[in-house]
Every structure is written in structure tokens, then in C-alpha cells.
Amino acid sequence: MSVTGDITLDNLRRDHANRFVKAVISRGKGPDGNGPATVERYLKQVSPVITTAIREFELPITNPFIGVTIPNKSEGQRKPRASFSTAELRAIQEACRGKNDQRRWAIAMLSDTGARLAEVVGLRKSDVVLDDPVPHIVITGHPQRRLKTPASKRKVPLIGEALWAAQQGMQTAGDLLFPDFAPRQPDSPVNAASASAALNKWLKDNKLVREGQTIHSFRHTMRDRLRHVEAPKEVADAIGGWARQSVGDGYGDGYELAKLKEYMDKL
């Protein structure tokens, strides 16, 4: 109300949306106020509510918050994360073998699965299947780790360093594969942000990354590696849990583990 005043929904106009954007920017603590990403996040929260109200009350207006201009949006966009070269990836994996502890096992798992960090640090021992013809992990939601999208639920073959990491983790105590990342409260989610900070610090301190590379770069790297072996897009999506782009992509049971492993063995 401090921005629009006490008006009815059908009197909302583009000017109100623009004033809202300016207000969000001005309330930031930094010298330039809130950045474009923060403004966009607020708009994504507000706009759907207005759209729903317009539809439900059958109002003859267009949502003025749709398509509103965000100043300096292009400047505020994140720089793309850099992938690892083959040599860089091998150097990290060798360093993990040398250190040989739970945090390094997690990095090794990331390096040869392309999974999200939260998915890996939230793995339970019951999610690891080593006695199958195709050893694999089962990524599924549970109280200690929610999934980002429906496509995130999947099975990923274990190869190379990821298989080694799983074998090491199965020897630890507790239900989690990597109990170092266990939350303080049993039913609380694992703290992926804390894990990210710790693992990124180790990579940086040991000069294993260059500018633009982070723990999330393993995910970008896996996508590149799959392209290099000419894996079909659907195979790459199935391995990485990337969201399906069309309705047709969601039909059927997807690829068998053996077929996914066939491509991963080429990496």
C-alpha cells in the first residue's frame, strides 16, 4: 500500500508496477540498493498472485506486473560458470583420492555423476545400490533432502570416481552416505549452502579451480562430457535430472540404467 495506495485491483496500472520496482531497489542495503536479481525474485512472487486474482474475479484488465522493466537486468545476471577441462577434472579427482575423506568423497561423487550438491550430500546408504549389474544411486526426495523438480527423481549409474566414493561412504557409520553433512536435527534438511562453502573453499585453497569455476561446475562439465560422446539429449537429461522440455519427454519409463551406463562409460 505504501507504493500503490489503497486502490482496488482493477485500478492497478503499469505505473504502479514501475513504482513497485523502484521501491524494491531503493530498500536495499547496498550503495545501489537491491540488485536486479532481488527485484526479479519479488516480481515472481507478486505477479502470479495478481494473475490468479484477475482470473478468479474475471477482471477486464491485464496484469501490469507482467513484462515490467527491471533496470540494469543484464548487468545483474550471473556470469556463466565455467566447466572443467579433462586435465582439471583429473587433477581434482586425484586430489580427492589423496585426501580420502568424506568431503572429498562427495566431490568425487559430484565429478562423475553431474548431480546437484544437495542431491549428493543428502544421499542415504539405502539410496546406494552396489550389488546390481549396474551399480547406481537412487536420487529421491526424503525429509533430509527435497528434490528441485519432478525430473530430479532418477537413478544414476556409478562409474569411475563416483563408484569409488560410494564404496568408501558405505563404510561410514549412520544412515547418510556422507555423515559429515548430517543436519543437527534428524528430520532437518542437509545444509547444502554450508557444504558448498566448505567444498568451494578447499578447491580454491588448493588452487584446483580458476575464475568462474565452483562446485556447481561439475554439473556443467557432465553436460559437456555427455555432448562430447554424442549422448542424446534425453540421455543427458535422464542422467542429470534436467527438466523435460516437452510433454512428450515425460511419456514412457525412460532409459534403462544399462543404456545410461553405456554412454557414461565413454566419458
Residue 208 pLDDT exceeds 50: yes
Query: What's the pLDDT tens digit per position in 77-94?
Result: 555 678 999 999 999 999
| Between 65 and 144, residue with greater pLDDT | 65
> Quick one: pLDDT at residue 248?
42
> Quick one: pLDDT at residue 31?
57
Residue 237 pLDDT exceeds 90: yes
Residue 141 pLDDT exceeds 80: yes
Query: What's the pLDDT tens digit per position in 83-138?
Result: 999 999 999 999 999 999 999 999 999 999 999 999 999 999 999 999 999 999 99
Residue 36 pLDDT exceeds 90: no
Instruction: Give the chain's end-to-end CA distance (angstroms, integer).
Output: 56
pLDDT range class, residue 30, cuts 50, 70, 90: low
pLDDT range class, residue 154, cuts 50, 70, 90: very high
Residue 253 pLDDT exceeds 70: no
Give the DSSP H/E element, type plus range, for residue 157: strand 154-157
One of 3.40.50.300, 3.30.2290.10, 3.40.50.970, 1.10.443.10 is the CATH number of 86-264, namely 1.10.443.10
DSSP 3-state assignment of 202?
helix
Write down the pTM of the prediction. 0.71
| Total residues found in the chain within this entry | 267
Q: Would you say 43 and 64 are in contact if contact means Cβ atoms under 8 Å apart?
A: no
Residue 168: name the closest of 159, 160, 177, 176 by CA: 177
The CA R_g of the chain, rounded to the nearest whole Å, is 22
What's the rounded Cα separation, in Å, for the pair 7 and 15? 13
Residue 219 pLDDT exceeds 50: yes
Mean pLDDT of 182-199: 88
Question: How do the domains of the chain map onto residue ranges?
Answer: 9-76, 86-264
Positive/negative CA dihedral, 257, 260, 262, 264? negative
Residue 247 pLDDT exceeds 80: no
> Quick one: pLDDT at residue 90?
98
Mean pLDDT of 209-221: 96
pLDDT range class, residue 149, cuts 50, 70, 90: confident
Pairing of strands 136-139, 154-157: antiparallel
> Quick one: pLDDT at residue 261?
98
Residue 71 pLDDT exceeds 90: no
Average pLDDT across the chain, whole number: 89
DSSP 3-state assignment of 137?
strand
